[in-house]
Amino acid sequence: MNRARIGLLLLLAALLLLPLGLSDFWLFIAIEVLAFALYAISFNLLMGYGGMLSFGHAAFFGVGAYTGALLAKKAGVTSIWAFVLVMPGAMAVAALIAVVIGFFSVRRSGIYFAMLTFAFQMLLYTVALKAIGLTGGDDGMTGLRPPGLLAAPSNYYYFALAWVLPSVYALYRLVNSPFGLTLRALRNNPLRVQYVGVNVRSHQLITFVVAGAFAGLAGALFAFSSGNVFPGWLNWTASATPIVMAVLGGVQSFLGPALGAAVYVVLEVTISGSTEYWPLFMGLIIMVLVLVMPRGLVGLLERGRR
């Protein structure tokens, strides 16, 4: 067994045993890490593997969160079994929205692609803000709780883990599959990929939809641990979060963005617990990152091992 495999098994064991050693407060943080790890990996499928820098990935996280909240509040999901279906429901709605946004956005590349995703996200943000009857407008939707036994933090942690682990594994298979190899080739040279006989636009659209669906799942999972959903989750500033997480961890490794998400969330909690200047620290962290370690924390770890 090689070192990477041992490391993964240790990580898995740690994830399974985590609730035994954590207070409820840190359990909620752990759930947040799981959700944002999936979110950041889904984003990196677009940016790191596909070379598609989206400024609107928060749209799908937010749509997933609102879908979860609406299903719970308006459709009256009270049993655990119905609640289990909320997650694929959130994925499906996020995927559907991604089909529409992606259909138009993949027609352009680079900054124009980014601008289109940004514009669509602002559209959705306005809907969340103004459709007060449905979304509660500026006040958001509050008092979200998973039903029954799942309301206990450790149980909800395992529930989230049961969604995140298979999702991350599926994404891992995807990036190493023929689809993923073609996607990496496409990041290098879209024209050449077209001239080996690949329909580039549909390849990009599928990538966009898959990334959107998993971001939606992450959003729904997080909604029920935070207990609230706010329109700010759909605001364009929210789309910076997965970008920073991915860059912080390292976009060139599959699990880099997950590591970035963990560090980001824990830093945010500890720093904003002792000072109100969290954005200042975040700014400093990003500067150091880009200037000193462009390959992120994973790059730093790899350099340390050599």
Partner 1 sequence: MIAPGATSADVLAVDSVAKRFGGVQALGGVTLQVRRGEFHAIIGPNGAGKSTFFNTLTGLILPDTGQIVFEGRSLTGLPPHERVRLGMGRTFQITRVFPDLTLLENVQVALLAHDRASLFPWRSASRHRPADARGLLERVGLTVSEHLPASTLAHGDRKRLELAITLAGEPTLLLLDEPTAGMAAQERLESIRMVHRVASDLGLSCLFTEHDMAVVFSVASRISVLVQGKLLITGQPEEVRASEQVQRVYLGEAVIEQGVNG
Interface positions with partner 1 (CB under 8 A): 173-174, 176-182, 184-185, 187-189, 191-200, 203, 206
Burial degree of 196 (CB within 10 A; 0-12, 13-18, 19+): exposed
Closest CA relative to residue 91, chosen from 257, 210, 248, 256: 210
The smaller minimum CB distance to partner 1, of residues 96 and 185, is found at 185
Q: How far is the CB of 203 from partner 1 (least distance, A)?
A: 7
The smaller minimum CB distance to partner 1, of residues 108 and 192, is found at 192
Q: Where are the alpha helices (DSSP H) in 54-177?
A: 58-73, 80-105, 111-130, 132-135, 153-176
Q: How far is the CB of 253 from partner 1 (least distance, A)?
A: 13
Coil, strand, or helix at residue 284? Answer: helix
The smaller minimum CB distance to partner 1, of residues 134 and 206, is found at 206
Q: How far is the CB of 237 from partner 1 (least distance, A)?
A: 31
Q: How far is the CB of 185 from partner 1 (least distance, A)?
A: 4
Q: How far is the CB of 210 from partner 1 (least distance, A)?
A: 8
Residue 110, sorted as left (phi over 0), alpha (psi -120 to 50) or beta, turns out to be: left
The smaller minimum CB distance to partner 1, of residues 165 and 244, is found at 165
Q: Measure the CA angle with vertex 97, ends 92 and 101; round to 5°.
A: 145
The smaller minimum CB distance to partner 1, of residues 115 and 174, is found at 174
End-to-end CA distance of the chain: 20
Cα–Cα distance list, 26 to 23, 161, 187, 260 (Å): 5, 15, 38, 18
The smaller minimum CB distance to partner 1, of residues 151 and 170, is found at 170
Q: How far is the CB of 181 from partner 1 (least distance, A)?
A: 4
